[in-house]
Structure 1
């Protein structure tokens, strides 16, 4: 065989068919099934075709995030008694939980967009978002301007009525229309970059909290909302976008020895926002959460950071 003298970039080798090489070969569906069986996962009660259908419908790598609580990493095997049923139940629970959390965040996001636009327009004018003097960091301001310009371009191409009407008639987009086409993340970052104390505090007052806490809470909710919107896992997730808490909530975590950085952090934030925004709706959401948890008694709540008395902890007056 002739020696191949053609230089290749490290890690980017390709065979003659043009396929790029990777140290781990892909597994077929049948190989994935047998790999799970060899590592000790109970597949009893599932015909091979049923397991194969499950694996073909759910990416193996996605499923692996849900079996973490049933897997002994040191031994490289599933814990004794772990079954495919366990994983299916956790995935079903997480799917319903994701939908519920998304529904909880949605009205707060809308309220935040509304408050930001309302106070900016009334204090500084309809297009004050273009004024660098209202913001702190120039780099963050320029990034937000790029996002604004991009949203307007997309709105014009898509013939979004609130964009086309204002741009064709006035050549500018008032902030109350802008917040309807910007991402939640961009609005949150714009608020977080405000240097104007009057505007910052006016928005925070609508949520009965401080500007510092509102900035932290909204940035956290953006992160969680995006996980929900992209069908990502909430169960047993370490929440990398940490949030600030009220002092009494910090004491609560310490008193109950709760692990921070889990989804229970999000529920504490949601509780604090809802107790002033809509306590009746919060009670309805907590009832829905209780019903969901009751539907899956075999799913442990500890990986979510929930205490045993979670319902009382999350209760609000009103």
Structure 2
């Protein structure tokens, strides 16, 4: 038996849940309900939640010849509370659910479009090297030795996905030894396989796919698929979405819907830009979708937490720009009328009176009823 090697740098010691809350409190986090904080850390995890309080830590800026360097400290900014951190986590979780739902529809639609547009030319178009760009067929300069050309790498992934698939349509083809047409094979593809396959297709095939999506520029769709694939993975792995950068700056068409949005660079680098792209694709699939309204409602629940602002998600300072999307604000809670309150109170009292009268008498029933009557009269006398 080999002995475990001791790391050169000491590993952090284990901390139990109450100890972790103590650390947060010692660093300046407001712990309003200690038992609740312990319970939530036990449920969600200290380091999973740490992503949500990361931007609330204090920092200092070092200026040198390379520019600015941000150094974060192990202490929190003023007014950082555990409750606000957890509300941020819940808001982000709601966004992940909504994004996951939208991306599922987009992923299925993309598979269908790609399979249909290539399948019309050849049922086995995905296996024909003639359908991909020549650069995808040769090893790229600078790649590590043994790294497959792009198409060979994609084909290897495709074959693994087919072998792992439990789809009955795919299993039946394999069992019968029949070639699997693209409209069946694509059922095994994940978002990454879709994105990579599109990126290596011949321009003519990309154009037919773009036309179905309502986009002219081939490279724009390529850029979107790369970003959406990472977004999908973040959703699948329960990672934070809200205040983190996109993998790549979004490329957007300069017409119509996107001209009206007029997204700035910050928006293209953040979640706001991705929401705009997802909505563009989603409303073409389901024109009656209320998805964006639900997203706006969730964004409106953003808690007051240092470091968390609409701008950190790419939005304008005022928050989700409902006007740009023609989304109405949620109706304000209607203040009840005096007449309604009085009526409801009388109805409730009538039910209580019948219950009291129906109860059997005990030794002190008359005293209890008198005390109840006197109490009610006293309450009513102030109205």
TM-score category, normalised to shorter length = 0.7 to 0.9
- Equivalent positions of 1:52-91 (< 5 A) are 52-74=38-60, 75-91=73-89
Shift of 1:84: 0.7
TM-score (norm 1): 0.83
Over 3 Å counting, the alpha-carbon distance change for 1:242 and 1:294 in structure 2 is closer
Q: Does 1:179 align with 2:177?
A: no
The alignment of Structure 1 onto Structure 2 pairs a total of residues equal to 292
Higher Rg: 2
Mapped to 2, the partners of 1:13 and 1:106 lie a distance apart of: 44
Deviations 1:182-216 (A, max 9, x none): 11110211011012x33221111111112222222
Deviations 1:111-148 (A, max 9, x none): 1100100111102x111211112112121111111112
Mapped to 2, the partners of 1:25 and 1:105 lie a distance apart of: 40
- Which residue number in structure 1 is paired with residue 222 of structure 2? 215
Shift of 1:295: 4.1
Mapped to 2, the partners of 1:190 and 1:132 lie a distance apart of: 12
- Which residue number in structure 1 is paired with residue 236 of structure 2? 229
- Which residue number in structure 2 is paired with residue 261 of structure 1? 269
TM-score (norm 2): 0.70
- Which residue number in structure 2 is paired with residue 143 of structure 1? 153
Whether the aligned pair in 1 keeps the contact of 2:88 and 2:303 (CA below 8 Å) is no
Shift of 1:21: 6.8
Q: Which runs of 5+ in 2 are unaligned?
A: 61-72, 138-148, 328-383
Shift of 1:288: 1.1
Q: Does 1:304 align with 2:313?
A: yes
- Equivalent positions of 1:1-318 (< 5 A) are 13-14=5-6, 22-44=10-32, 46-47=33-34, 49-74=35-60, 75-123=73-121, 125-136=122-133, 137-138=136-137, 139-155=149-165, 158=166, 160-195=167-202, 197-210=203-216, 211-247=218-254, 249=258, 252-254=262-264, 258-281=266-289, 284-296=290-302, 298=304, 300-307=309-316, 308=318, 310-315=321-326
Q: Which runs of 5+ in 1 are unaligned?
A: 1-7
Deviates more, 1:65-74 or 1:292-301: 292-301
Aligned residues: CA RMSD: 2.6
SS at match of 1:72: strand
Shift of 1:170: 4.4
SS at match of 1:77: strand
Whether the aligned pair in 2 keeps the contact of 1:94 and 1:233 (CA below 8 Å) is yes
